[in-house]
Amino acid sequence: MYKITDIFKRKKKTFSFEFFPPKTEEGMKHLFETCDELKKYPDFFSVTYNPDGSSRERTLFVVNEIQKKFKIPVMHHLTCINYNERTL
């Protein structure tokens, strides 16, 4: 599996899909089904967590599961709204 930095070095233009961590088990199942259907199109996936920090653990779980299950690089997308050096 390529690192995302390697993808950017290799290609002038990239394509990715962004996901938000689901809040329910049913949503998680649907997300992984969607990833399975879409995995052949993007260079990588991105998973963004809510700026209030409520989905931080779910984000890490989703990133790890997508990489393990689908062998595609995943970018952790940190939203910096309402954050400062102390809260990061």
* Cβ contact 51:82 at 8 Å: yes
Q: How confident is the model at residue 42 (pLDDT cuts 50, 70, 90)?
A: very high
| Residue 13 in tokens | 């233009």
Locus of tokens 């002038």: 12
Range of the domain at 38: 18-77
Count of structural domains, the chain: 1
Q: Residue range 7-20: average pLDDT?
A: 94
Angle between helices 56-70 and 25-38 (to 10 degrees): 40
Is 33 annotated as catalytic? no
Residue 83 belongs to some domain of the structure: no
CA distance linking residue 32 with residue 4, whole number of Å: 20
Residue 46 belongs to some domain of the structure: yes
Give me the residues paired with residue 47 across strands: 19, 76
Residue 37 belongs to some domain of the structure: yes
Q: What is the pTM of this model?
A: 0.81
